[in-house]
């Protein structure tokens, strides 16, 4: 089965958990060093990219980053926590160091492909010191918390999304649904007839792949 989603690892303790959540949805993934992003994209032709969280600040010297060319490749992107801050920073938004937050927050969101099927408010888990305070050109706000105005935002035309919380953690009430929405509603292939092609592989394919791997 072809790699469907590339996960760019910026040092988060939960990067592998992102992969686990996607595999639970039947999606094959590969975790890569951000420096290899363009090379791996050209080789694997993924349906989407996820930029993980991480302990760094976008303003620190030698902070992990990625080539800005990924934003012009017409590949859906989801930035999580640091990944979202990095997107905003690279695309001429503004990120500042504010009050550190760790724990549950109430998320309020508007309708959109990322939050389809969710109630208007839900509990999410945050862990950050920096926050996006000015959106990059072309982005619109999608969700907020009490202390973070842009807890989620997106450039709908380029299909670039960001969240300032961790959907991969169980503490985020509808985190798995948010990841599934990103896959099903945003990361889809379009056939020559214009039909959406389901990324979820057949059960038999998963079983055969496991048998091949474990003997």
Instruction: Provide the annotated active-site residues.
Output: 81, 166, 168
CA distance 191 to 195: 5
Q: Are 107 and 124 in contact (CB under 8 A)?
A: yes
Q: Rounded to an integer, what distance in angstroms lies between the CA atom of residue 181 and that of residue 111?
A: 12
Distance CA 188, CA 48 (A): 8
Q: What are phi and psi of 5, to 5 degrees?
A: -130, 130
Q: How many residues does the chain have?
A: 215
Q: Under DSSP, is residue 61 helix (H, G, I), strand (E, B) or coil?
A: coil
Q: How far is CA 193 from CA 156, 187, 189, 197, 201, in A?
A: 23, 17, 11, 10, 20
| Contacts for 176 with CB less than 8 Å, ≥ 6 apart | 21, 24, 25, 167
Cβ neighbors of 88 (< 8 A, separation 6 or more) are 94, 95, 132, 134, 135, 136, 139, 150, 153, 162
């Amino acid at each position: 089965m072809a790699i469907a989603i590339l996960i760019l690892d910026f040092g988060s303790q939960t990067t592998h958990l992102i992969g686990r959540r996607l595999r639970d949805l039947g999606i094959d993934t590969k975790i890569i060093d951000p420096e290899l992003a363009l090379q791996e994209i050209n080789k694997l032709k993924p349906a989407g990219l996820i930029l993980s969280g991480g302990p760094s600040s976008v303003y620190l010297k030698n902070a992990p980053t990625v080539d800005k060319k990924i934003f012009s490749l017409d590949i859906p992107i989801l930035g999580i926590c640091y990944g979202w801050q990095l997107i905003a920073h690279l695309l001429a938004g503004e990120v500042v160091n504010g009050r550190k937050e760790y724990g549950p927050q109430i998320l309020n969101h508007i309708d959109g492909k990322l939050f389809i099927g969710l109630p208007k408010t839900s509990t999410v888990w945050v862990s950050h010191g920096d926050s996006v305070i000015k959106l990059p050109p072309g982005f619109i706000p999608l969700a907020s918390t009490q202390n973070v105005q842009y807890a989620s935002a997106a450039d709908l035309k380029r299909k670039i999304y960001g969240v300032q919380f961790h959907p991969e953690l169980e503490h985020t009430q509808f985190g798995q649904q948010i990841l599934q929405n990103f896959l099903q509603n945003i990361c889809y292939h379009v056939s020559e007839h214009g039909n959406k092609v389901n990324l979820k592989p057949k059960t038999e394919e998963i079983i055969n792949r496991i048998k091949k791997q474990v003997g």
